[in-house]
Structure 1
Amino acid sequence: MSLATSALPFDDIRNLVGAMPGPSLEAVEAVKKRDAQLTKPLGSLGRLEELVEWLAAWQGLPMPKVTRPLVAVFAANHGVADKGVSAFPKEVTAQMVSNFAAGGAAVNQLCIAYDLGLKVFELALEMPTPDISEEDAFEESECAATMAFGMEAISGGTDLLCLGEMGIANTTVAAAIFYALFGGTAEEWVGPGTGVQGDALKNKIAVVEQAVQRIGGPGKVEPLEVLRRIGGREIAAMAGVILAARMQQVPVVIDGFVTSAAAAILYKMDKTALEHCVFSHASAEPAHRRALTEMGGKPLLDLGMRLGEGSGAAIAAGIIKAAAATHSGMATFADAGVAAQD
């Protein structure tokens, strides 16, 4: 990534949020009409039927489809890693990016299993953002440019975007964002991440507390300023691509704790901003369930996962693909010569 990317000023981002298109109610009605004619009891596929309606609403298609799904993984480094908040050093971020490129990560295997595209976006790994417990993560122009970079991630086209991330110490950054946006205490938002426990976990809580108090405490600055001051590059880029997907009628699958923090920035700007998104799973990171509750999220899965890298979103994409294929491929009662239910 070049940090010289043309910046999108925060006012323009706010204007985009204010101009977000709504769902296609006509497409939803077409799905409901066809669903009532399919060879099954009405409502018998449960949430799969809801997913097809959701796809139709945000693709704008009366017969929604998933033929070009994409898992987009954003990787960044964080200066706060030097505070001992992770079980791994920040050099692991670049090593894992190499692992993605070599096809050796979990998300690679999931993408193969579910026939999903995969793109990995490196965001200046050699230049970690400053330690957010002591300094702001970005200048406004850099934060806006990083969001703009994220917006370009779907320029190649996709009909279902699945978000993932990689960044040592980014659960610390995500916890700070949630704390700043939703309040409570630092302890309520901080979890083990890569596996920190005991004194290391206490240190992580203290670092998050320091970061949020440095900006005045919870609820003291508006969401884009939260992102600018205590965010990270991968989180800014994901917030950007979620917004771009809304503008381009692309449904989005949110992964876990860190990707949800990017979504939370937009949610706090406008409570309708995530209507084109589904939350793939409830992470084993303890505070993720609270974050989902704060945003009204209803996760598809609960598998005890906490890997990141888009792994939960990839599995959810397989279910969403199945829902679309079932709706479009099933015969109607008339086609099959089966008597319809009364």
Structure 2
Amino acid sequence: MFTIAPLPTTLIPELQQAIDTKTKPLGALGTLEKIALQIGQIQETCTPEIVAPTIVVFAGDHGIATTNKVSPYPQEVTQQMVLNFLHGGAAINVFCQQNQLDLRIVDAGVNADFEAQANLIQAKIAKGTRDYSQGPAMSMEQLENAMNQGAAIVDTLYQNGTNVIGFGEMGISNTSSAALLMSYFTNTPIADCIGRGTGLDDEGLALKIKTLSDIYVLHREKLESPLGALATFGGFEIAMMSGAMLRAAHLKMTLLIDGFIVTAALLAAHALQPNITAYCIFSHTSGEQGHLKMLNFLEATPLLNLGLRLGEGTGCALAFPIIKSSVAFLNDMATFNSAQVSSATTKNA
């Protein structure tokens, strides 16, 4: 869909020199130094900047939710939470306001209609996916449409100057889609991919494991490609995120990755374009049991471990001050020469 080039390496010596000559011991800012180097490579400059950072929350409904076998919450909660986002009452609203992040909500496939609002992007593919216990969640045409819509959303943000984009999601039962996609892309037994989602008790968890195990067996012999798996198990919000991620990396934006569901979308994008992870900053480790396994598969190191399992892009918003600090020290911190501070010397042993 989009070609994603490896990060350029030509600036690494100059970037590393800029980092190492700041008034600090070598490596003393730890992970901040790694982020500064990464963003400098992405933007191909020793003076990177963060412009119009935006979190985009993709929302969609899932046919499997209507079976009442995988989530304790009714499907209507997706619509209700989208309205909560639009009215400014959710956790992601609070954290975006706190950290001066723009927020956009995308109706990728909610089983409801919404009135036009300034921060709502209307991109509905259909009013929810089909029940994948009966057949594929979406057609290949719907998948292509969703991925293209995601790319178009990123294009608009990019044209408005955004160079850092965080990904969030909302959709009752989307942890089930994420678990199925995780099993396919990481070759992990399905039972090891499934968690409690929005709060299943032990009985509910056992039913979810059996339901999703049966669904995976139903489809696994028919899955011939990453796109086929995404169409079979994905939600419209997950497919749209995959397309958006691919486009954002193609445009050399910095991608902030949230939790379990967002990382499932990234697994699909990574299967198509493995270089994408070089453009990603992984905000946190989710409380959902499969997320750490996903991160290990991608050889990714998350910034935070707060036991979050809310979604919405909340991990991205909470990690954002760390990313700002990484760019700020590279641009604004004095060097040993400019501050007239003596640097360390190497003595012969």
Contact 1:114 1:318 in 2 (8 A): yes
SS in 1 for 2:148: helix
CA RMSD of aligned residues (A): 1.4
Q: Which residue of 1 aligns with 2:153?
A: 153
Q: 1:93 aligns with which of 78, 83, 104?
A: 78
Give the Cα–Cα distance (whole angstroms) in 1 for the partners of residues 6 and 255 of structure 2: 14
The normalised TM-score by structure 2 is 0.90
- The TM-score with structure 1 as length reference comes to 0.92
Which of 290, 296, 305 pairs up with 2:299? 296
CA distance in structure 2 between the aligned counterparts of 1:225 and 1:178, rounded to whole angstroms = 14
| Matched position secondary structure for 2:55 | strand
1:110 aligns to what?
95
Give the aligned residue type for 2:52.
R
How far residue 180 of structure 1 moved from its aligned partner, in angstroms, is: 1.9
The answer to whether the Cα contact below 8 Å between 1:150 and 1:241 also exists between their aligned partners in 2 is yes
Q: Residue 316 of structure 1 corresponds to which residue in structure 2?
A: 319
What is the aligned-residue identity percentage?
34
**1:153 offset after TM fit, Å?**
1.9
**Distance in structure 1 (CA, Å) of the matches to 2:285 and 2:192:** 16
1:141 maps to what in 2? 141
Kindly indicate whether residue 6 of structure 2 is the aligned counterpart of residue 22 of structure 1.
yes
Q: 2: distance between equivalents of 1:232 and 1:269? A: 18
1:224-235 → structure 2 map (5 Å cutoff)? 224-235=227-238
SS where residue 130 of structure 1 aligns? coil
Q: Is residue 100–residue 108 contact of structure 1 (8 Å, CA) maintained in 2? A: yes
For 2:316 and 2:220, the matched residues in 1 are separated by 34
* CA distance in 2 between partners of 1:216 and 1:101 (Å): 38
The answer to whether the 8 Å contact 1:28/1:62 transfers is no
Pairing of 1:42-57 with structure 2 (within 5 A): 42-57=26-41
Instruction: Give the match's secondary structure for 2:6.
Output: coil
**Equivalence for 1:8:** none
Task: After the TM superposition, list the runs of 4 or more consecutive aligned residues in structure 1 that deviate by more than 6 angstroms.
Answer: none
Question: Which 5+ residue runs of structure 1 have no aligned equivalent?
Answer: 1-12
SS at match of 1:181: helix
Query: Retained in 2: the 8 A contact 1:70–1:161?
Result: yes
TM-superposed deviation, 1:220: 4.6
| 1:65 equivalent in alignment to 2:49 | yes
Contact in 2 for aligned 1:178/1:189 (Cα 8 Å): yes
State yes or no: 1:80 paired with 2:64.
yes
2:217 is aligned with what amino acid? Q
- Matching of residues 151-230 of structure 1 within 5 Å: 151-154=151-154, 155-157=156-158, 158-216=162-220, 220-230=223-233
2:277 alignment partner, SS class:
coil
The question of whether the paired residues in 1 share the 8 Å contact of 2:242 and 2:268 is answered with: yes
Shift, 1:317, TM fit: 1.6
Correspondence for 2:122: none
Matched AA of 1:124: G
Q: Which runs of 5+ in 2 are unaligned?
A: 112-126
Kept after mapping to 1: 8 A contact 2:109/2:237: no
